[in-house]
Chains A and B, each alone.
Chain A
Amino acid sequence: MSPQENVKFLHRKYIQSLNREKKWVRFYQAVIFIVFFSGWELASQKQWIDPLIFSAPSKVWGLFLTKIQDGTLMVDLGYTLSETVFGFILGTFLGTLLAAILWWSPMLSKIADPYLVVLNSMPKVALGPILIVALGPSFTSIVAMGAIISIIITTIVVYTSFKEVDPNYIKVLQTFGANRFQIFREAILPASFPTIISTLKVNVGLSWVGVIVGEFLVSSKGLGYMIIYGFQVFNFTLVMLSLLVIAVFATVMYQLVELLERKLIKNGS
């Protein structure tokens, strides 16, 4: 075998080993999935766990089909999903806007500092009752819950990243006579895109928390309402269904943010 063929051969072997590893990873992931659901089903049928509390995949699936057919699942899902998306976008946008204002005025950021610390340490869901009274038990107050839970932490994280942009980029712009707005647009904001995206990823999870808690409190529609209703009438199949649907859609949202990340952050890699 010539050296060249040898290199080709070794490279092919290397790729094969990579593929093999990937297959094993997928295999074990599938095993965990199947073991979990079949174990759940089996344990429930054999009464190892209380089927009244833990339900069973077959029951959840049955309920899923019924609720799809009568359309009620879609209605609840639609509510929760739109509340979460709005809350999430609003929270991230307002948080970034606040961060920009703090960056713009160093004086203001010094003044606001202790208040930000207090607001950040406060459990935001505790504001729920006040929001509902103030904004009414409706879509608006639940969106506000989804947003408020992520605003302050977004502000703090994004503001920190604004301040940490390499000052030499700012120097380059200053030598061209850039004003503060141009510095923000050309250097500060684009340099912080990776941080903003990673707060987006955190905020997806946070907004779900805010919205579900909001629906617990308002108790009229949505997946959070499904959970609290199922709990009150002791229908845990309904609770499980709601949880699984939330898990699926929270994952989908997270994946969409990752897709956005790949689109937005272009630097030739």
Chain B
Amino acid sequence: MDFLKVDAVHHTYFTKTSAVTALSDVSLEVEEGEFVSFLGPSGCGKTTLLSIIAGLFEPTEGTVTLEGKRVETAENEIGYMLQQDYLFPWKNIEENILLGLKIGNSLTPDKKAYALKLLQEMGLKGVESQFPKQLSGGMRQRVALVRTLATGPKLLMLDEPFSALDYQTKLKLEDLVSDTLKSFGKTAILVTHDIGEAISMSDRVFLFSARPGQLHKTFVIPKELRDETPFNARNHEVYPAIFQTIWKELESLEPAGER
């Protein structure tokens, strides 16, 4: 059985004056331990799909199941990381990373120790009692990752988590996240509009077309790239060819005249 199964999902947003179809007939499967990316132009419904998978709202049609269970009923099995860190500025770092456990009423000494250990492994020792605004952007995003991992989710969703960072921090963080998730064997979905990021981090890349959002094509990333860290993958000899293929496919999606 598939780990995550998205089955014929349609979603339409209604407003007073219009009905906008964000997703149209999207079906896909993700295996356990796999790292996949959703790539596509803006308006292709990536974030909508992520929210549906996270069980934040139900699709107009279709179902999403995680290990055979509907995601709406799953609690704390899915971790969600947003574009910005969204650490709570009035809570210190320790309170921030334990937030998920507190909400789920599962704040045991074991899990607390685990969260603090994660924080250390992310190279953030001794910041527990500091407040988010005392930390740099990269540090805050690492704290946000710890907050997401602390509840031990089975599936991790990353919604353009590196887009608000400077390039150098972004590259370093890609390596760290990739390494961390691999070592935990976590399944992850990354939403991005950065082709390079999608190629270097994932096992498979799902390319979406816009208006309405549809699954256009799936690319399997060759094994030699998958085994490398994201930074090294970007310098690998097969990288440019894949980049070109995806680039051309993306170009073909854009309606003529919009360039």
Contact = CB atoms under 8 A, between A and B. Distances in A.
Instruction: Please classify how large the interface on chain B is, using the bins under 10, 10 to 19, 20 to 34, 35 or more.
Output: 20 to 34
A20 interface: no
B16 to A, nearest CB: 15
Contacts of A187: 88
A186 B104 contact: no
Contacts of A172: 80, 82, 86, 99
Given A171-B56, A171-B82, A176 B104 contact: yes
Pick from A175, A177, A182, A190 the residue with the most CB of B within 10 Å.
A175
A22 interface: no
B89 A177 contact: no
A125 to B, nearest CB: 37
Contacts of A190: 88, 90-91
Contact of A177 (B76, B92, B131): B76
B180 interface: no
Contacts of B89: 267
A72 interface: no
A233 to B, nearest CB: 54
Nearest to A264: B90
Interface in B69-85: 75-76, 78-80, 82, 84
Interface string B35-59: 0000000000000000000101000
B133 interface: yes
A202 interface: no
A76 B99 CA distance: 50
Chain B at the A interface: SS class: loop
A186 B89 CA distance: 11
Interface string B183-227: 000000000000000000000000000000000000000000000
Nearest to B76: A177
B100 interface: yes
B65 interface: no
Given A182-B103, A267-B133, A176 B76 contact: yes
A193 interface: yes
B88 A186 contact: yes
B99 A176 contact: yes
Given A168-B84, A190-B90, A174 B56 contact: yes
B84 A173 contact: no
Contact of B90 (A171, A178, A267): A267
A266 interface: yes
Contacts, number: 59
A268 interface: yes
Contacts of A191: 90
Pick from A174, A177, A187 the residue with the most CB of B within 10 Å.
A177
A168 B56 CA distance: 12
B103 A186 contact: yes
Contacts of A186: 88, 99, 103
B163 interface: no
Interface string A25-68: 00000000000000000000000000000000000000000000
Interface string A86-111: 00000000000000000000000000
A75 interface: no
B130 A175 contact: no
Contacts of B132: 267-268
B151 A268 contact: no
A269 B133 CA distance: 8
Contact of B103 (A173, A266, A267): A173
Given A171-B80, A176-B76, A268 B99 contact: no
Contacts of A268: 92, 130-134
7 contacts: A172-B80, A174-B56, A176-B99, A266-B90, A268-B131, A268-B133, A269-B133
In the A-B complex, the 3 residue pairs with the smallest Cβ-Cβ separation, listed nearest first, are A268-B131, A175-B80, A176-B103
Interface of A: 166, 168-169, 171-178, 182, 186-187, 190-191, 193, 265-269
Given A177-B75, A178-B103, 12 more contacts: A168-B86, A169-B88, A173-B99, A175-B54, A176-B151, A177-B76, A267-B89, A267-B90, A267-B133, A268-B133, A269-B131, A269-B133
